[in-house]
Structure 1
Amino acid sequence: MKKIISLSLLCLLFFSCSDNGFKNNNPYIPNYNFSITFDLNYPAYSKLNYASNAVYYAGPEVGPKGIYVFYTGSGYNAFDAACPNQALSSCSTLTLNGINLVCPCDKEEYSLFTGQGKLQYPLKQYRVEKIGNILRVYN
């Protein structure tokens, strides 16, 4: 009886764990473990204090194409700057077009609000945490 109760509790614990729906798999974009902070008081990142603004960051610690950080008005999104439906190449760095990112390879557009486009894979999203005036983007 004790074994059954222990097994039931173990199963309950295992199946109650959640990843908060966060999925970050894309066969074209490798997974890079990183954590980077942005101080919203700095002029280079102050645009992120206003809704519908994005900042591109291309430091070596975030992968081969960089990241885009976007303020939706109610929260922040961070996306990989590599085209999600193309192999890494010289034309696979997304470019900013208003509230969308555009892939130069196939001219596909992706929303910075949702990460969605019309093709199979959406933008590769990263986690964002805001503490005071500091944004932390991480994978």
Structure 2
Amino acid sequence: MRSLLFIASFLLIFTSCKKDEGVDDDNPYLIDPLVNLNLNLNLPEYNPLRFPGNSVVINQQGVKGIVVYNVNNELYTAFDLSDPNHTPNSCSRMTLEGIIATCQCADDNSYDIVTGQHQSNENLYPMQQYLAQRSGNNILISN
């Protein structure tokens, strides 16, 4: 009986997971640009990603740039720097201070780059997330 319960629980969890977990495909403000990057940690511009708590901004990728954050050397996050609650415009590119990305538009939306969630209103769209996987000394960013 115990093993049957374990198998049923495993199947429920396994079938409920999506491949692109965390990515919100229903955001009417942002397009889903093709992203397929390989960041070599041996290169000086990506060296900060070798250490937990550091991030790197990759310009001219995604909608308004992509921020990649090292959570713990095994888990990395990657989010678009375009405010997900605005149509891309001159003020919607977010700036970073620590782990907080802030929009420069009048509403001052701010998001956590570890989770992608809005800092004060959970009903707003989260940041557009990309898949980030480490393989040896490379971090693969894709969607």
With normalisation by structure 2, the TM-score equals: 0.79
**Counterpart of 1:132?**
136
Distance (Å, rounded) in 2 between the aligned partners of 1:18 and 1:43: 36
Q: How far 1:27 sits from its partner (Å)?
A: 1.3
Question: SS of 2:63's equivalent?
Answer: coil
Secondary structure of the structure 1 residue equivalent to 2:44 = coil
Task: Give 1:53-92 correspondences, 5 Å limit.
Answer: 53-59=54-60, 62-73=61-72, 74-92=74-92
Task: Kindly provide the amino acid, as one letter, of the partner of residue 126 in structure 2.
Answer: P
| In 2, Cα distance between equivalents of 1:17 and 1:81 | 29
The amino acid across from 2:113 in the alignment is: L
CA deviations 1:118-137 (Å, max 9, x no partner) are: 34111110001111010010
Alignment partner, residue 24 of structure 1: 24
Supply the distance in 1 between the matched residues of 2:97 and 2:16 (Cα, whole angstroms): 38
The residue aligned with 1:93 is 93
Identical aligned residues as a percent: 34
- Tell me, in whole angstroms, the C-alpha distance in 2 between the residues paired with 1:95 and 1:42: 24
Quick check: which has more Rg, 1 or 2? 1
CA deviation digits over 1:39-91, x for unaligned, max 9? 111111111111111111113xx333111101112410000110111111000
Q: CA deviation at 1:17?
A: 7.1
| TM-score normalised over the length of structure 1 | 0.81
How far apart, in 2, do the equivalents of 1:129 and 1:51 lie? 15
Give the secondary structure class of the aligned counterpart of 1:32: coil
Runs of 4+ in 1 over 4 A off after TM superposition: none
1:36, CA displacement in angstroms?
0.6
What SS does structure 2 have at the residue aligned with 1:44?
helix
Map of 1:122 onto structure 2: 126
Matched residue count: 124
Match of 2:112 in 1: 111
Contact 1:78 1:128 in 2 (8 A): yes
How far 1:33 moved relative to its partner?
1.8
> What runs of 5+ residues in structure 2 fail to find an aligned partner?
1-14
| Structure 1 runs not aligned, ≥5 long | 1-15
Letter in 1 for 2:111: Y
